[in-house]
Structure 1
Amino acid sequence: MRHAGICSRILAGLLLTGASVGTAHAAWYQAQSRHFTVYSEGNDAKLRGFAERLEKFDYLLRTITGVTDPERGSPVKVYLLSSEGKVKALARNPNIGGFYTTSDRTAFAVLSREAKSNQFDFGAEEILFHEYTHHFMLHHFPAAYPAWYIEGFAEFFSVVKFPKDGSIEFGNFVLARAPGLFLGEPYPVANLFARNADGLSLRDGDRYYGRAWLLTHYCRYNAARRAELARYLADVANGVKDIQPESYFAGGFAKLNGELNGYMRKRTMSMSRLTPTEMKIDAIVVTPVDPAQGDLIENELRLINHPRTEDLPGIVTAIRSIAAKYPASAYALALLAEAEWAAEQKDAALADADRAIAIDPKSSRAYAVRAEALLEKAHDSDAEADWKAALTSIVRANRADTEDPVPLALFYRYHAMRGGKMPDIGYDGLYKAFTLLPQSPEYRFNFAHATAIRGDYKTASILLDPIAYSPHGSEMREGALRLKTEFDAQAAEKEQGAAKAGNPPPAP
Structure 2
Amino acid sequence: MGMMRIWMKALAGLALALGSMGTAQAAWWQAQTRHFTVYREGSDDKLRDFAERLEKFDFLLRAITQVTDPERGSPVKVYLLSSEDKVRALAGNPNIGGFYTTSDRTAYAVLSRGAKTSQFDFGAEEILFHEYTHHFMLHHFPAAYPAWYVEGFAEFFSVVKFPKDGSIEFGHVPLARAPGLVLGSPYPVKNLFARDANGLSLRDGDRYYGTAWLLTHYYRYKADRREEITRYLHDLAEGVKDMQPDSYFAGGLAGLEKDLKAYMRHSLSASRLTPKELTIGEILVSPVDPAQAALIGEELELMGDPGKEDAPKLAASIRAIAAKYPASPYAAALLAEAEWTAGQADAALADADRAIALDPQSARGYAARARVLLERAHDSDRAEDWKAALTSIVRANRADTEDPVPLSLFYRYHAMRGGKMPDLGYDGLYKAFTLLPQSSDYRFALVHAVAARGDYKSASILLDPIAYSPHGSEMRDSALRLKAEFDAQAAEREKAGPAAESPLPAS
TM-score normalized with structure 2 length: 0.93
Deviation at 1:252, TM superposition (A): 1.4
- Counterparts of 1:61-460 in structure 2, within 5 Å, are 61-69=61-69, 71-266=71-266, 268-460=267-459
The answer to whether the 8 A contact 2:353-2:369 is kept is: yes
CA shift for structure 1 position 504: 6.5
Secondary structure (helix, strand or coil) at the match of 1:30 reads: strand
Over the aligned positions, Cα root-mean-square deviation in angstroms equals 1.4
Aligned partners of 2:202, 2:317: CA distance in 1, in Å?
A: 36
Q: Deviations over 1:366-387 (max 9, x none)?
A: 1111111110111111100000
Amino acid at match of 1:354: D
Following superposition, the deviation at residue 507 of structure 1 comes to 6.3
Q: CA separation in 1, counterparts of 2:447 and 2:300?
A: 28
Aligned to 1:17: none
Once the two structures are superposed, what CA deviation does each residue of 1:380-428 show, in whole Å capped at 9, x if it has no partner? 1110000000001101111111110000000000011111111111111
* Aligned residue type for 1:279: L
1:264 CA displacement: 1.9
SS in 2 for 1:50: helix
For 1:478 and 1:26, the matched residues in 2 are separated by 44
Distance 1:106 1:71 in 2: 15
Contact 2:145 2:468 in 1 (8 A): yes
Conserved in 2, the CA contact under 8 Å of 1:434 and 1:443? yes
CA distance in 1, matches of 2:200, 2:80: 29
| Counterpart-to-counterpart distance in 1, 2:293 and 2:299 | 10
Q: 1:24 to 1:485 in 2, by over 3 A?
A: farther
Match of 1:14 in 2: none
**1:312-340 CA deviation, whole Å, 9 max, x = no partner?**
12211221111111111111111111011
Aligned to 1:15: none
* Structure 2 CA distance for aligned equivalents of residues 494 and 388 of structure 1: 38
The number of residue pairs the alignment matches comes to 481
Structure 2 gaps, min length 5:
1-22
Take 1:236 and 1:181, find their aligned partners in 2: how far apart are those partners?
27
Cα offsets for 1:284-331 (capped at 9, x unmatched): 000111001001001110110232332212211221111111111111
SS of 2:161's partner is coil
> In structure 2, how many angstroms separate the alpha carbons of the residues matched to 1:329 and 1:467?
39
The alpha carbon displacement at 1:455 in A equals 1.6
Code of the aligned partner of 2:296: I
Q: Tell me the SS of whatever aligns to 1:309.
A: coil
Aligned residue identity for 2:244: Q
CA–CA distance in 2 between the matches of 1:24 and 1:397? 38
Measured after TM superposition, the shift of residue 462 of structure 1 is 0.4
Whether the aligned pair in 2 keeps the contact of 1:495 and 1:505 (CA below 8 Å) is no
Alpha-carbon separation, structure 1, partners of 2:96 and 2:349: 37
Judged with a 3 Å threshold, the aligned counterparts in structure 2 of structure 1 residues 236 and 277 are, in CA distance, closer, same or farther, namely same
Mapping of residues 1-20 of structure 1, within 5 Å:
none
CA contact (8 A) 1:451 1:460 kept: yes
Matched residues in 2 for 1:506 and 1:333: separation?
45
C-alpha contact (below 8 Å) 2:100/2:109 kept by paired residues = yes
What are the ranges of 5 or more consecutive residues in structure 1 without an aligned counterpart? 1-22
Distance 2:184 2:86 in 1: 34
Superposed displacement of residue 25, structure 1: 3.1
Show CA shifts across 1:118-164 (max 9, x none): 10001111111100000000000000000110000000000011111
Structure 2 partner of 1:28: 28
Q: What is the one-letter code of the residue matched to 1:235?
A: D
Q: Is the 8 A contact 1:24 1:298 kept in 2?
A: no
In 2: Cα distance, 1:113 partner to 1:48 partner: 13
The answer for the alignment partner of 1:53 in structure 2 is 53
Q: Look up the equivalent residue of 2:480 and give its one-letter code.
A: L
Q: Secondary structure of 2:339's match?
A: helix
SS across alignment from 1:157: helix
**Partners of 2:99 and 2:177 in 1: CA distance:** 18
Q: In 1, are the aligned partners of 2:139 and 2:438 still within 8 Å (CA)? A: yes
Distance in 2 (alpha carbons) for counterparts of 1:285 and 1:24:
25
Per-residue deviation, 1:262: 2.1
What SS does the corresponding residue of 1:325 show, helix, strand or coil?
coil
Paired with 2:368 and 2:215, the residues of 1 have a C-alpha distance of: 48
**Cα contact 2:138–2:465 (8 A) shared by 1:** yes
Letter in 1 for 2:335: L
Match of 1:13 in 2: none
